[in-house]
Structure 1
Amino acid sequence: MRIGEVGLLTNDVVKLSNFYKLLLETENGSNDTVHQTILAEETMLTIYNDGSVKNNKNQNMCLAFTVNDIDAEYEKLVNLGVEIIEEPKLRPWGTKNMSFYDPDKNIIYFRSFNK
C-alpha cells in the first residue's frame, strides 16, 4: 500500500494552487476555483474547497519535500516573498532542513540529504 494523494482544504483554491504550482515548478492547466490536482513526480497534491470555512490555523499537519539543493530553494522562496520559519540548517541526523508557511499557513518543510 502507498499514499496516493495529499489533500489541502482551503478557502481560496486558486491562490493556494498557484503557490504550489510555482513551488513545484509544474502546471496543471487549471484555474478551477473549487478543485485542482497538481502532479509532482509520483505524488498527487489536491487542493479543494469543500464549502466549509477554514480558519487557516493548520497546526496539526505539515508537508515535507525532499529537494536537491536546499540553498537554491531557500533563495527562490525568499525572492517569492514566502514567510520563512527556519532557514536551512544542518541536522544531527544528516539532513539539511528548512521550514516556511504556504499562503494558508500550512507548515512546509524542505530537506536535502548530504551526499
Structure 2
Amino acid sequence: MKLGEVGFLTNDVIRLADFYKFLLGTDNGSGDGVHQTIIAEETMLTIYNDGTVKNNQNQNICIAFTVDNVDEEYERLLEKGMKIIDKPITRPWGARNMSLLDPDGNTVYLRSFPENVKEG
C-alpha cells in the first residue's frame, strides 16, 4: 500500500494553492477555485474546497518537505514575509529543520539532511 494523496480542505483554494506553489517552486497552470493538484508525482498534494466552511483551527496536522538547503529556504521565505514559527536549527539526530504556517494555519516543516545523516 502507498500513500496516494495529502489533501488540504480550505475555504480559499486559490490563496492556499498559491502559497504551496510558491513554497514548492512549481506552477500547475491552474486558477481553479474549487480544486487544484499541486504535486502529481508519487504522493499527490491537492487543495480542495468541499463546500463546507472551515474554521482554520488546524492543530492536529502538519506536513514536512525535504529540501536541499533549509537555510536558503528560510531566507527566501523570510523575504516573502512568511509566518515563520522556528528558524532553522540542527536537531540532535543531525537533520536541520525549520517550521512556518501556511495561510490556513497549518504547520509546515522544511528539513534538510547533511550528507552524512540518513533519514529516519
Common topology (TM > 0.5): yes
Deviations 1:30-53 (A, max 9, x none): 100100001165331110001111
Q: Secondary structure at the match of 1:77?
A: helix
Aligned to 1:4: 4
Given that 1:24 and 1:40 are in contact with CA atoms closer than 8 Å, whether structure 2 keeps it comes out as no
Within 5 Å, which residues of 2 pair with 1:44-55? 44-55=44-55
| Structure 1 position 112 matched with structure 2 position 109 | no
Deviation at 1:2, TM superposition (A): 1.2
Aligned to 1:89: 89
Matched pairs, number: 115
Given that 1:21 and 1:27 are in contact with CA atoms closer than 8 Å, whether structure 2 keeps it comes out as yes
**Cα distance in structure 1, aligned partners of 2:48 and 2:76:** 26
Length-normalised TM-score, structure 2: 0.92
Deviation at 1:113, TM superposition (A): 0.6
**Cα distance in structure 2, aligned partners of 1:40 and 1:99:** 24
Aligned to 1:98: 98
**Cα distance in structure 2, aligned partners of 1:11 and 1:59:** 17
Length-normalised TM-score, structure 1: 0.96
Aligned to 1:25: 25
Cα RMSD, aligned residues only: 1.0
Aligned to 2:70: 70
**Cα distance in structure 1, aligned partners of 2:79 and 2:13:** 23
Q: Which runs of 5+ in 1 are unaligned?
A: none
Deviation at 1:114, TM superposition (A): 1.3
